[in-house]
Amino acid sequence: KITVGILALQGAFLEHKLHLQKAVRHASPGSLLDTTKFEIVEVRTPEQLAAADALVIPGGESTAISLIAERSGLLEPLRQFARVDRKPVWGTCAGLILLSDEASKARKGGQELIGGLHVRCQRNHFGRQTESFECDLALPFVGDDEPPFRAVFIRAPIVEKVLTGADLTADVANDVVRAPKLDAEADDYKTAPIEVISSLPSTQGKEAGDIVAVRQGNIFGTSFHPELTPDVRLHRWWLQECVLGRGESRI
C-alpha cells in the first residue's frame, strides 16, 4: 500500500483528505489509482510522518502550522522528509509558503520554514481576506474539451522569485525568512529545475503572469485551495505524477 499523509495540525486538512479519498475511489481495479493501493492518513506525529510515502501540507495559517509543527517535534522530520528523503510533498497556500526556501516575513515576526523549493514566496500577495477571489487556471490535465479548473485564492501567496544558488548563500534580506541549510543536503543539494505549472491569467484586475503552481523535483506547491471546490482532478493528477515518478518523486 501507498500511504499518503495529510499534515493535520491546522487548516483545511480534512477537505484534502476527502479529496484524496475521492480521487482514488472511482479508479478502476488495476488502474494507476486503484483504491486498494492507497491509504490516506492524517499526520500529527513524527511516527505517523515516518509511515507516510507522500505528504500534503494544507492551507491555513503558515505561522500557526510551523509553530505547532515545532512543538510536536515535526519540523526537522518534515525537512528530512521533503529535502533529504525527497518523498513527494504537495503544499497548498500556507503549505506552499512552508515549502519555500524563502518567504516574506509575517507581520508579527519570524516563522520557521520547511524549505525545499528554491523560490521566494510572497505571503498575502493579493491582500486581505476580503480580496479573496476565484478564477479559471490552465493546468496540465485541462484539455480543450475539459471543463475549466476553478481555483480559489484566499489570502494567497505567490512565487515572486525563482532563487539561484547565489541567492541562497547571499545575506538574507530583513523582511525575508529563509529555511536553514541542512547538513545532510550539503553535497547533494537539489538540482532539479523549477517547473512553472501554472500562472495567473489576466483576471479581475489582477496582474497576469504571477506564478501560482510550481514544481521542483519531488516538491509541488500551489497558491490556491484545490480542496475547496468539488473538483478532484488536481489531486488525481498529483497522485498519478507521484506514482509515475514524474518530477523525481518516488513512491
Binding residues for ligand GLN, rule: CB under 6 A, are 59-62, 93-94, 97, 123-124, 154-155
**CB of residue 145 vs ligand GLN: minimum separation in angstroms?**
31
- Mark whether 70 is an active-site residue: no
Distance (Å, whole) CA 161 – CA 166: 13
- Mark whether 227 is an active-site residue: yes
**CB of residue 62 vs ligand GLN: minimum separation in angstroms?**
3
Residue number with CB closer to ligand GLN (33 or 93):
93
Residue number with CB closer to ligand GLN (13 or 38):
13
Residue number with CB closer to ligand GLN (123 or 215):
123
Q: How many CB atoms lie within 10 A of CB 240?
A: 16
Identify the H or E element spanning 193.
Answer: none
Annotated catalytic residue, options 15, 93, 102, 135: 93
Residue with cell 479519498: 21
Residue number with CB closer to ligand GLN (97 or 179):
97
Annotated catalytic residue, options 227, 235, 241, 242: 227
**CB of residue 14 vs ligand GLN: minimum separation in angstroms?**
14
Residue number with CB closer to ligand GLN (33 or 56):
56
Question: Smallest Cα–Cα separation from 58: which of 108, 98, 117, 114?
Answer: 98
H helix runs in the chain, sequence order: 13-25, 46-50, 62-71, 75-79, 94-99, 165-169, 233-244
**CB of residue 242 vs ligand GLN: minimum separation in angstroms?**
22
**CB of residue 60 vs ligand GLN: minimum separation in angstroms?**
5
- 195, 215 contact by CB (below 8 A): yes
- 248, 217 contact by CB (below 8 A): yes
**Cβ-based burial of 229 (10 A; exposed 0-12, middle 13-18, buried ≥19):** middle
Tell me the pairing of strands 211-216 and 54-57: unpaired
- Mark whether 26 is an active-site residue: no
Residue with cell 526537522: 76
Annotated catalytic residue, options 225, 235, 241, 242: 225
The residues annotated with a catalytic role in the active site are 93, 225, 227
